[in-house]
């Protein structure tokens, strides 16, 4: 049994965008520490495959397919989980996307897509889940930011804007909801080996630059985000609120 401060048994976690990558790693990690997890995404085949993988490992997992960029769908999905599966104790706002282009040529439709996927979804899911949590007087919300919540790089200015917004929305959620017994924090990953970063991982020049730029000297592995999530999801973080925890190999600590 996990140490009590990190024991998530009896708790239900909804992880958005969790059929693959960081979201799946976080869902699996929470489940390994006792939580039942709801895998979310838009692709039912991928969601069901992720649930099947967790179930095969003896972990408690459920499927919920809804589009986190559609407010009506989010409300219906959250209400459905609360009614059919159980009260959501932990929400991980993980759904996100990336698109790279010079800022002067950045397509307007991609700008809107980034806004909806990376920041509106955090507001939609956060508000929908918090309304239930507030009634119960408890709850954990973990928003997934990025080192780009603090830093910028060429060709991803809109992404950087959305992740900066996640950082401050986390603080705003804390300011409004901490009085109701909720803890809202964010994890800011550095550069991790994920499908979102395939283009960068395949770029030998970028990988060499990143390894030099990061004090740890390497890419992160998604499993290395689990400890931060378990800490923020459990009783160990009962007085931690409105904070951003960087898991980045030191890249934001060094010039």
Active-site amino acid positions: 159
- H-run or E-run covering 182: strand 182-189
Helix axes 121-136, 71-84, angle to 10 degrees: 30
Give me the DSSP letters along 29-84: HHHHTT-EEEEEES-HHHHHHHHHHHHHTT--EEEEE--TT-HHHHHHHHHHHHHH
- Cα–Cα distances (Å) from 95 to 105, 164, 208, in that order, read 25, 15, 28
Neighbours of 75 (CB within 10 A): 16
User: Phi/psi of residue 211, each to 5°?
Assistant: -65, -30
Largest CA distance in the chain: 54
- As given in the structure block, the two tokens for residue 76 are 């219906």
- Cα–Cα distances (Å) from 71 to 8, 93, 240, 244, in that order, read 29, 14, 28, 25
Neighbours of 106 (CB within 10 A): 17
Place of tokens 């809109």: 158
Whole-number Å distance between alpha carbons of 32 and 230: 10
């Amino acid at each position: 049994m996990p140490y009590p401060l990190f024991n998530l048994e009896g708790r239900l976690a909804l992880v958005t965008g969790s059929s693959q990558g960081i979201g799946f790693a976080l869902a699996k990690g929470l489940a390994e520490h006792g939580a039942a997890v709801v895998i979310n995404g838009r692709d039912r085949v991928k969601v069901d495959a992720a649930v099947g993988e967790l179930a095969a490992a003896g972990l408690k997992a459920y499927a919920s397919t809804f589009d986190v960029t559609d407010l009506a769908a989010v409300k219906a999905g959250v209400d459905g989980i609360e009614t059919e599966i159980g009260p959501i104790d932990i929400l991980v706002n993980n759904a996100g996307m990336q698109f790279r282009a010079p800022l002067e040529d950045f397509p307007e439709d991609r700008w809107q897509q980034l806004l909806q996927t990376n920041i509106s979804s955090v507001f939609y899911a956060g508000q929908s889940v918090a309304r239930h949590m507030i009634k119960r007087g408890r709850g954990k919300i973990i928003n997934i930011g990025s080192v780009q919540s603090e830093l910028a790089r060429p060709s991803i200015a809109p992404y950087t804007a959305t992740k900066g917004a996640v950082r401050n929305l986390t603080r705003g959620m804390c300011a409004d909801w901490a009085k109701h017994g909720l803890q809202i924090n964010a994890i800011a990953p550095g550069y991790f080996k994920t499908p979102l970063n395939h283009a960068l991982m395949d770029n030998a020049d970028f990988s060499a630059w990143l390894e030099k730029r990061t004090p740890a000297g390497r890419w992160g592995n998604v499993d290395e985000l689990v400890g931060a999530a378990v800490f923020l999801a459990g009783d160990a973080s009962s007085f931690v609120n409105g904070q951003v925890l960087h898991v980045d190999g030191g890249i934001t600590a060094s010039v």
